[in-house]
Structure 1
Amino acid sequence: MGAAEHRRDLVSLAYPVYLELLAGVTAGIINMVWVARLGGGAVAAVAVATNVENLLLGVILVAGSGTTVLVARARGAEDPAAMRSAVRGGWVLWALVTPLVAIGGYLCREPLARLVLGGNGGDSLLLATDYFSIALPGIAVFFATNVVDGILKGAGDTRTPMKLAILANGLILGLDPLFILGFDLGVRGAAIATVLSRTVALICGFVALHRNGVLRQAAQAAQAAQAGQAAQAAPRRAGSLSADARRTAATGLPMSADFVARMAGALALVAVVARIGVSEVAAYGIATKAMYVATMAFYALRQAASIRTAHLLGAGRDERRAIGRQVLLLAGSLGLMALLTLLAAGPWIMRAFGSEGEVAEAGALYLRCLGPYLVLLACFIAMGGVFEGSGDSPALARITVCGMALQLALAYALSGLGLPGICLAMALAMALQCAAIARMYRRTERPPATDYDNSRLKTSVTEPDGPSPDRRPT
């Protein structure tokens, strides 16, 4: 398969994911804009609640990301039983995780609000508790949407999740003023508007699942194959569900760990930056939000590489090295564009976020020093998709955890240089992570692992319900 075809398919898969990720951030911004009319306490409450939701995203990534890879691999193998098993595994995990988070979060909403606000009382604590009383039970909808998106992406459809995210944002934009100001519900109104908007998008997502041709054909083929085996399959159904969930968890857990480790490292870095000064902390926070525009492009490319790699491996074709070269080309170009943009427009970016004086100056300096780190980050994150799609994500998660620990140690040691020292620490730690992933990439020169991957897919997915007679040879 030619390089141009790989590159074209990666871009086709990645750009809707990028718009979807941007839409997710926009939802939080819309809420912040409307609750800003209620005062600083309301803004603080919604801000910390949004951060908690971002952290909880790492929990459901176990189901969403694992389902994406397994569905993509089954699609490539043209194995309807494997695809049905992958979808089922994602929903079983959702059913196991959601009650713990939604019910447990609701019962612990006040201690959680106190924790994320640093123990401060006052209006912010009460408002955050009010927001959590709606948002945490509503996390069930957010989690279900993530699973629906994972299934669709695994089936090769990244555009529908993008459309669903845009739909949810449009509804939030219209419902926020109605519930926050019109019905005078305050921050609770923001939470209600968000949950209702996501619920409508989720319903549309279920309709999209039903209409998806790949999923519908796979379901029909799997049901036909199992029709004559229903009597003997019934006693093993519970065991099969458990096996489906374990496979999805084993596939998605390393990706979830990678995401959580990187988020936790970014939050921990705030404490190191605080040693420099208050203005630097504010600048770091604003600049980090500005970076989302670039880093989300890296993560979109990562998802595209994961889907593409898993699909081709399922089809019996080991194209990891070819995909990796195109991913590096695209990621390097994106990172270089980010570097040049930050060098040229750092001060204007800070002003666009409303910063002035010392904060604006510190933020502009930070953004201008951040370029080398972003180039390395782009390559590391995007290349990670190749290893996620091929089942090597546990090693990738270990690299990330070690890299974040090294970054914090270096940042502490170099904090005397100010924000440029922080940027240097981030770049050095990321350079070592890139060296580690480059070593993993060189190992793909070994004989193709296609036979192993496909045999593993057969034995681990189709055995619980019996072999699928409809499976075509690869």
Structure 2
Amino acid sequence: MTTPTVRTSPPTKRGPLTGWLDPARLLNVAWPVYIELMSGVIASIITVVWIARLGGPALAAVTMAATLENVLMSVVLAVSGGTTIVLSRAVGASEYGRLRPVLRAAFRITLVVTAVICVVLFVLREPLAKVVLGSDEASAVRLSVDYLTVAVPGIAVFYGQHLVDSTFKAKGDTRTPMRMAILSNLILVVADPVLIFGWLGAPRLGVTGAALALVASRAVTLAVTWWLYRRSPLVRDMTAAPEAPKTPGPGPVREILAAGLPLGVDFLVRMAAGMLIVGVVARFGTDEVAAYGTVTRTLLFLTMAAYAMRQAATIIAAQANGADDAVLLAASRSSSVRLGIAWSVLGGLAVLLLGGLAVDAVTGEAAIRSAAYGQIPWLSVYIALLLCNVTLSGIFLGGGNGKALATSTTVGAALQLCLAPLLVLTPLGLTGAWIAMIINAGTQTTVLLVLAARQTNETKEVTA
């Protein structure tokens, strides 16, 4: 029995504008990813609203746990992202026999990583809470320990969901993970008040209830996702294909890590740079910090779209790379560049023109609003550059040039880390921090645009 082939060349029938802007049809793959990402953001906001009713210590405890999960996201992205890329290459090449060893390797890596992280965090959950929240905050520390006692073992479910989702995305199916994310968040929205406040006869569990609601919603969703996976086209194609013969070169474990580590590094460096800049802004008072948090949180709908387009480009570029389809690879590069530039322009203008309205809708405090209005012009420039380089990064991850992405991100972040503390000491003040952030994002965007243009020229020379 022959295995089905994957159509990797972009469709020929397209509208003139959309066909030029997105020749690889990235948006068809990206929009479900966007809904998946935004549904998680909305659910987390709803959880914070419920927890806020329990008081400051409870809110601090859950916020600390959410920050910790963001750090752990870099680990799961390195594994699940690498798995998606390697599987997508095999799907693009119609080498379904290669899927089994890759999935076995991904499972082993996930199992080891999960076991190590869960054991270490469970043992150190109280010292970690004291370091983050301060040993004087006894109530918040105690509540953090209660939350982490349930949430840390639940990391296994969190990592497992990302791994199973990668099997669907490798086939270009981003709608199933989207539906599963919506299902999980719907369960969480219902379970949160029931377990936190003891509605419908349930025990009132407070922050422990919030952790139970989160883990339970993810566990139910993982069970449904696994059921769908067992009946997915990927499994049918994999079952029909003969076992792939062993070939010289790196094994599947090394392939996954080589493909995924740049993604994990990129995420971790970006997050660390963002946390460091908050520390710099904090020198200018709580109003400036609150303003910074307000204006950046209102941008999530813009940045999540860029990350969704990046994920779509990663999948399509990896499939094209596996199929050795230079036409689709070039199309994915063109789509990423054009969509990145278009979205950056729209995003920058949206922040500049509508940022004030967004701030007014979030807060009514005059001091915070005044501080936010002063930051918005600089933020519009920064966000335009950030949206462009995030959207562009997918073609490097999927096309096998992840090291270039990780290097550009690290260099840009290093510039920001060095310049921000120095510039804020000059008469520029807080504006110096924004200039450092703009230099960071501008460096990354310039490097990626130059590399993309160089790759495009190389492709033209080969096909000429």
Q: Same fold (TM over 0.5)?
A: yes
Alpha-carbon distance change, 120 to 295 in structure 1, aligned in 2, over 3 angstroms: farther
**Cα distance, 1:13 vs structure 2:** 0.6
- Say which is worse superposed, 431-440 or 1-10, in terms of deviation: 1-10
> For structure 1, which segment, 159-168 or 81-90, has the greater mean C-alpha deviation from structure 2 after superposition?
81-90
Aligned to 1:184: 204
| Matching of residue 138 in structure 1 with residue 149 in structure 2 | no
Structure 2 CA distance for partners of 1:33 and 1:79, relative to 1, 3 Å: same
Instruction: Name 1:348's counterpart in structure 2.
Output: 357
Does the CA-based 8 Å contact 1:73-1:314 persist in structure 2? Answer: yes
The one of 87, 90, 98 equivalent to 1:71 is 87
Does residue 109 (structure 1) correspond to residue 129 (structure 2)? The answer is: no
Equivalence map 1:356-371=2 (5 Å): 356-371=365-380
User: Where does the alignment leave 5 or more consecutive residues of structure 2 unmatched?
Assistant: 1-9, 13-17
The residue type equivalent to 1:378 in the other structure is L
Give, in whole Å, the separation in 2 of the partners of 1:59 and 1:213: 28
Separation in 1 of the partners of 2:189 and 2:23? Answer: 35
Identical positions, percent? 37
2:72 match: 56
Aligned to 2:222: 202
2:460 and 2:239 mapped to 1: Cα distance?
Answer: 30
Does the 8 Å contact 1:283/1:363 carry over to 2?
yes
Match of 2:446 among 426, 435, 448: 435
Q: Does the 8 Å CA contact 1:347/1:361 hold for their aligned counterparts?
A: no
SS in 2 for 1:184: coil
TM superposition shift of 1:21: 0.9
* Counterpart for residue 4 of structure 1: 19
Partner SS state of residue 268, structure 2: helix
Alignment partner, residue 213 of structure 1: 233
2:224 maps to amino acid: C
> Counterpart in 1 of 2:190?
174
1:260-313, CA deviations, whole angstroms, 9 ceiling, x for partnerless residues? Answer: 000011001111112222211121122222222211111111011111111112
Deviations 1:320-376 (A, max 9, x none): 333222212222222222222222222322233335121122123323321122121
1:25-61 Cα distance to aligned partner (Å, 9 max, x none): 2232121111111111111111111111111011111
Moved beyond 6 Å, runs of 4+: none
SS of residue matched to 1:137 = coil
Is 1:423–2:434 an aligned residue pair? yes
Give, in angstroms, the shift of residue 447 of structure 1.
Answer: 5.1
CA distance in 1: counterparts of 2:66 and 2:298, whole angstroms:
16
| Residue of structure 2 equivalent to 1:459 | none
Once the 2 structures are TM-superposed, how far is the Cα of residue 407 of structure 1 from its aligned partner?
A: 1.3
Alignment partners' CA distance in 1, 2:94 and 2:358: 48
1:23-172 matches, within 5 Å, as: 23-172=39-188
Residue 265 of structure 2: which of 249, 257, 265 is its match? 257
Name which of structure 1's ranges 121-130 and 192-201 shifts more when overlaid on structure 2. Answer: 121-130
Take 1:57 and 1:140, find their aligned partners in 2: how far apart are those partners?
Answer: 12
Residues 362 and 419 in structure 1, CA contact (< 8 A), matched pair in contact too: no
TM-score, normalised with respect to structure 2:
0.89
Q: Residue 461 of structure 1 corresponds to which residue in structure 2?
A: none
Give the match's secondary structure for 1:157.
Answer: coil
1:288 aligned to which of 292, 296, 299: 296
SS at match of 1:166: helix
Residue 462 of structure 2 corresponds to residue 446 of structure 1: no
Name the CA distance, whole Å, in 2 between partners of 1:178 and 1:4: 49
2:255 alignment counterpart = 247
Structure 1 gaps of 5+ residues are 451-474
- 2:37 pairs with 11, 21, 27, which one? 21
SS at match of 1:417: coil
Q: Give SS of 1:123's match.
A: helix
Separation in 1, partners of 2:221, 2:372 = 37
**1:468 is matched with which residue?**
none
Please name the residue that 1:298 is paired with. Answer: 306
Residue pair 1:373, 1:430 contacting (<8 A) in 2 also: yes
- 1:322 paired residue number: 331
Equivalent residues of 1:73, 1:310 under 8 A apart: yes
Pair 1:266 & 2:282 matched: no
